[in-house]
C-alpha cells in the first residue's frame, strides 16, 4: 500500500473517530505557492499547521451592487457590473497585486497598479483605499469591476439566467474575488427580468 493511500486511510480514521474535520490539502505539500484547486467557496492557502497548503473557506465579500445584462439577440453585448468592498490590512499596497473576479463562472484576472487600478481592452477594475496621515489603515477598500462586450449566457444557465420571458424572478449568483491568493465570496440575491430571444437583466 502506497504512502499516499496510507495517509488518506489515516485521515479518514482520524475524522471518523474524533468527529474533527480536517482541511483538504491542495497541491503538493512541498509546494508553498498554494496554486492548487479547491471546491467552490474555498481557496488554496497556506496551512495553519505550517504543513503545505490547504483549502480554506472564503472570507466575506461585501457586495453593494451586482448587475448582469444579457443580450440573447446579439453576441458580444453582455456586461457585468460589480461594486462592493474587500477588507485590506494596514499598510496594504495594491501595486502589482493580482485580483481574480469570478461572477457566476465568468472569470477575469487583473493586475493592479499603484493606484489600485487595472484596465484591459474591454474590462476594468479598481480597489480603492483611503489614506490617513500618509498611511493606509486597516479598512474595507472599495471594489469596482466592469466587464463589457462579452457573451456570458452559457455561464449563467446554472443560475437560471436564461432566454425566457419572466418578470422579477428571484435568482442567486455567487461572486468570488481573490486578492493575492485570499478568496472573498458572497452569494448575491438578485431579481431577473427577461424576454425570450431578446434581453435579460439581473439586479
Residue 45 is predicted with a pLDDT of 79
Stretch 69-77: mean pLDDT: 97
Residue 15 is predicted with a pLDDT of 35
Chain-wide mean pLDDT for the chain?
85
Q: Per-residue confidence at 18, pLDDT binned at 50, 70, 90?
A: very low
| pLDDT, greater one: 190 or 42 | 190
Span of 12-21, 48-57, 67-76, 110-119 with lowest mean pLDDT: 12-21
| pLDDT, greater one: 151 or 45 | 151
**How many CB atoms within 10 Å of residue 51?**
11
pLDDT score of 201 more than 60? yes
The model carries a pTM of: 0.78
Span of 45-54, 70-79, 94-103, 138-147 with lowest mean pLDDT: 45-54
Residue 44 is predicted with a pLDDT of 80
- DSSP codes, the chain: --HHHHHHHHHHHHHHHH----PPB-S-TT-TT------TTEEEEE-TTSSSEEEEEPEE-EEEEEEEEEESSSTT-EEEEEEEEEEE-TT---TT-EEEEEETTEEEEEE--TTSEEE-SS-EEEEE---BTTB--SEEEEEEEEEEEE--GGGGTTTT--SS-EEEEEEEEEEEEEETTEEEEEEEEEEEEE-TTSEEEE-
pLDDT in tens, 143-165: 999 999 999 999 999 999 999 99
Amino acid at each position: 500500500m502506497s504512502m499516499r493511500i496510507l495517509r488518506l486511510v489515516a485521515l479518514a480514521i482520524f475524522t471518523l473517530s474524533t468527529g474533527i474535520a480536517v482541511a483538504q490539502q491542495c497541491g503538493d505539500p512541498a509546494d508553498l505557492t498554494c496554486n492548487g484547486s479547491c471546491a467552490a467557496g474555498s481557496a488554496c492557502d497556506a496551512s495553519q499547521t505550517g504543513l503545505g497548503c490547504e483549502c480554506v473557506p472564503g472570507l466575506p465579500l461585501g457586495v453593494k451592487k451586482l448587475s448582469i445584462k444579457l443580450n440573447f439577440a446579439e453576441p458580444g453585448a453582455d456586461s457585468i457590473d460589480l461594486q462592493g468592498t474587500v477588507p485590506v490590512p494596514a499598510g496594504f499596497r495594491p501595486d502589482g497585486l493580482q485580483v481574480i473576479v469570478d461572477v457566476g463562472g465568468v472569470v477575469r484576472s487583473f493586475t493592479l497598479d499603484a493606484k489600485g487600478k487595472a484596465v484591459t481592452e474591454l474590462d476594468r477594475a479598481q480597489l480603492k483605499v483611503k489614506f490617513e496621515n500618509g498611511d493606509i489603515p486597516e479598512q474595507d477598500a472599495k471594489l469596482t469591476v466592469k466587464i463589457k462586450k462579452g457573451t456570458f449566457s452559457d455561464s449563467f444557465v446554472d443560475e437560471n439566467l436564461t432566454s425566457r420571458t419572466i418578470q422579477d424572478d428571484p435568482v442567486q449568483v455567487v461572486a468570488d474575488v481573490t486578492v493575492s491568493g485570499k478568496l472573498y465570496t458572497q452569494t448575491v440575491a438578485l431579481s431577473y427580468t427577461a424576454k425570450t430571444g431578446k434581453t435579460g437583466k439581473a439586479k
